[in-house]
Amino acid sequence: MRTPADDGFFMPAEWHPHSRCWMAWPVREQVWGDGLDEARDSYVEVAKAIARFEQVTMIAPSEQLAEVSVEVGQGIGCLPLTISDSWTRDTGPTFLVNGDGALAGVDWRFNAWGGLYPDHQADAALAENLLNYLDVARFEAPLVTEGGALHSDGAGTLLAVEATLVNENRNPGRSRDEIEALLKAYTGAKTVIWLPEGLVDDDTDGHVDNIACFAAPGRVVTLAPGDEGDENHARLLRNLEVLRGATDAEGRRLEIAELPLPKPRKNADGSRLTLSYVNFYLPNGGVVLPAFDDPADDRALEILEDCFPDRELVQIPVLPILRGGGGIHCITQQQPDALAKGTDGNSSAS
């Protein structure tokens, strides 16, 4: 069976130009409870912020399509597809490009974050359904993972969290080396930097998109360890030590920008919300980042302005989304423009 790497495909960086952003309408009532309407309002706010920079399409069940179209308003498209949840970063395809201007997608095996929800069949089929709709090549991967578990610099380096992927609830019996080989085959990466752990109480077992991401080849944005008394301190310190000692696929030591850790905030069930300023989205020419009504909001904005000096930054309150288990990056999935400059993996961050 041929893999994307065999055919010259690779996972581009998120700053590679996009043709569209995909989102999905919140539908799983057990996730949101009484906060469903508020969550939907927040999804609309995120969609409208991104639509200032690039096209956005909201996926929704056919029976809700008319209602959703009214909610999102003009300028945002809607596509009827069956879904069981609203986290397109994880349930949609991981898009790939090659040097010939072709687009493809990886269809990872999806088991609802290690079996959190038994009724996830619609989301397990979403990547295939969307790729069929787009009429682009589909690579079916023999690996359970989610898009939020991976981050690429577009030049051969992946970031991933070991606790997410090397986990019996996703890939039982597979070693880290075996999983790494599959990640390389299906993303075109040459190097995988494994971070040990994610945030406390993260239902995803520690997705990397709450921990660290690339801002440019050789430059990583990550959460600072924060106060020693914080329960995330030791985890984030270990991750930071790994990043400080790592080299990318080009042999470069990483330049690291540290974002502040927001103050702890609890969900209704007493679990800690996975608040992270790393969980942002890069539309064409912009940065859509979270605000948590936290003293660190302004500092996070300043740091990301320094990381992306040529982009317009838009900061949005997202606590209603966080109460469902994710953030801005989790509810979005970029479709790269395969014909745009930079498909050789050497795109700049501007």
Residues recognised as catalytic: 330
Q: Which residues contact 2 (CB under 8 A, 6 or more apart)?
A: none
174 — phi, psi (to 5°)? -95, 135
> How far is residue 274's CA from residue 282's CA, in Å, rounded to a whole number?
20
Strands 137-144, 103-109: pairing kind: parallel
Furthest-apart CA pair in the chain: how many Å?
52
**DSSP 8-state symbol, 273:** P
Q: Which residues contact 18 (CB under 8 A, 6 or more apart)?
A: 54, 283, 284, 334, 335, 336, 337
Instruction: List alpha helices for the chain, DSSP H.
Output: 29-32, 36-51, 65-72, 88-91, 112-115, 121-124, 126-134, 162-165, 176-187, 233-245, 297-307, 319-322
The residue type of 116 is: L
